[in-house]
Amino acid sequence: QVTLRESGPALVKPTQTLTLTCAFSGFSPSSSGIYVSWIRQPPGKALEWLARLDWDDDKYYDTSLRTRLTISRDTSKNQVVLSMTNMDPVDTATYYCARGRRKLDVWGKGTTVTVSS
């Protein structure tokens, strides 16, 4: 069974860097065409795609957030990590990771992050 699970701090202060981890199991990231994306959703708002990592190490980012985002992998732990710098209250959201190349077919349950001093 394919599963993804997000983890990270529930509360961060403004200007801090957020680091989130997506731990996955049940599939091999070395298989061709495997991508892991991060998506967020502010309270009551729409989904926003943030970044994607291809296991060939190609990386893609949202245009408006690309200067603040870094996506990386830990192959030994089957994890994908997302870092977002200079956090602001507007970044308060539920953050999801999801698997897929042309479709996001498996999602984690999400982790809620609040940005507040």
Cite the beta strand spans of the chain per DSSP E.
Answer: 3-7, 11-12, 18-25, 35-41, 48-54, 59-61, 69-74, 79-84, 93-99, 106-107, 111-115
Structure tokens, 54: 């291809």
74 binds another protein (CB under 8 A): no
56 binds another protein (CB under 8 A): no
Please give the single-letter amino acid code of residue 45: K
Kindly state the smallest distance separating residue 104's Cβ from another protein, in Å: 6
52 binds another protein (CB under 8 A): yes
63 binds another protein (CB under 8 A): yes
Positions in 9-28 near another protein (CB under 8 A):
none
Strands 79-84 and 18-25 turn out to be antiparallel
CA atoms within 13 A on the CB side of 81: 11
Kindly state the smallest distance separating residue 110's Cβ from another protein, in Å: 6
Kindly state the smallest distance separating residue 68's Cβ from another protein, in Å: 14
Contact positions toward another protein, by CB under 8 A? Answer: 37, 39, 46-49, 52, 60-63, 96, 98, 100-105, 107-110
